[in-house]
Amino acid sequence: MDSQQSNPATMVRDWQHLPPELLQVIGKKVISLAVYIRFRAVCRPWQSSCSLRPDHLPVQLPWLMLPYRSVGNNDSTRRFYDLATSKIHELDLPETCGVSICGSSHGWLVLQKGQMLSLLNPITRATISLPPFSGPPTALGIVPLRAINPENFFENWDANEYAINPTDNVRVCKAILTSSAHDSSCRVFVFTYSKWPLAFCKIGDVYWKVIEFHSGYTWGGDFRDITYSNGFLYTVSPFAAVTIYNLDNRSRTLLGGGITRTPIHLVEGVSGDILLIHDSPIYVNRVLKETKHTVYKLSNDRPKPEWIKVIDIGQNVLFLGSHHNVLSLSSANLQFPEWRANCLCYDSIRKKWNPQERFDPWYNHNIKLASLDNGTVTDITADLCPFQVNERWQRSLWLTPSLL
């Protein structure tokens, strides 16, 4: 036998045919979603040995989905800034062309085109259709706070009251999922400017359920944001009054209030606390220079629940994007030690001021990190890219990338 062939140091290793059991052990050691995707893509045997939907990956640092550069751009390539690698990923997502992206939740984007809604996982390209708004709704009657006969208050509700015609304009302001869309118990909640201020469906439902209640406002005018926590739906009014909806016993409870500030954002903290974020832009000579953020926690340990201004939110790391997009993640689960707790990461948008410019102004944006305890603000990125305003699909959204 040739001595060179018998020398283990010079033998060619057949990486393609490593035992599947060994590949599975190696794959479970990978904690980065991007690295895991590359690991599976090495060859077909590696791909078949490792799960397409691994459940061992920790929560990833969010990606920021960047807006199109110009108004009316229907390019299928969407750009995402990856905080973990400080790189921009370009993904071919033709499903997002010409649609409004009205939410990001549990790794899924919620897309709206007319009265049609769908879910898209931009990493796996999985899509799920939701019921159209033009279908006949059913109702989940929520008992009013001061109903005289709550048992039969919604006994004779009129379905025509909530009928949406095919030509009606339904604008979804925010959509949230209660879990991954692959979870059979997942519910999708929408907050809209339409005859349905609040509605929800389960994955696979044919119709939406309208959360029916009586309020002093129409067209969703008494909502500024919604969130979901442990079986309860929360809404917040312009005066920071929080309404808790119990969908099991069809009741609601009013809490909080007393803060007359807008815009405000509602989010569940990692320990179950309900947090409210107020952002106030600071202008100098009509130019946006900075945005100040104040965080409040809904306190239930007092005779009357109220909002308490806080500078310590524990292990929370808050991520604030455009419109109603806000995430709360635990710094202990992010697997990146430089991401400390008690801070807020946000997309800072500044107009590129030009006195001669009258139409379609351009904006720059970058990502900043604010420490809530001492107020220091750090630039994470330089200007990422200029873009023009387009309310229908010009949104920057935080997305927690997931294969589930």
**What local confidence, expressed as pLDDT, does residue 359 receive?**
55
- Digit-coded pLDDT (tens) for 385-399: 766 655 544 568 899
Q: Which of 367, 375, 271 is nearest to 316 (CA)?
A: 271
Q: Which of 23, 33, 160, 155 is nearest to 85 (CA)?
A: 33
Residue 247 has pLDDT above 90, yes or no: no
Q: Work out the average pLDDT over 325-343.
A: 81
Percentage of residues in the chain with pLDDT exceeding 90?
21
Pick 126 or 300 by higher pLDDT: 126
**64 neighbors 398 (Cβ within 8 angstroms):** yes
> From residue 224, how far is each of 100, 234, 288, 324, 360 by CA, in Å?
19, 11, 23, 8, 27
- Pair of tokens at residue 365: 């944006």
The pLDDT mean for the chain works out to: 79
Q: Work out the average pLDDT over 255-271.
A: 76
**174 neighbors 112 (Cβ within 8 angstroms):** no
- Pair of tokens at residue 99: 């649609």
Q: Work out the average pLDDT over 167-172.
A: 86
> What does the alpha-carbon distance between residue 220 and residue 237 come to, in Å, rounded to a whole number?
10
Backbone phi and psi for residue 82, each to the nearest 5 degrees, phi listed first: -95, 110
Q: Work out the average pLDDT over 314-323.
A: 87
Q: Work out the average pLDDT over 292-306.
A: 79
User: Residue 295: helix, strand or coil by DSSP?
Assistant: strand
Q: How far does Cα 144 stand from its chain's mean position?
A: 29
Q: pLDDT-derived band of residue 77, with 50, 70 and 90 as boundaries?
A: confident
Written as one string, the DSSP assignment of 165-189 is -TT---EEEEEEESS-TTSTT-EEE
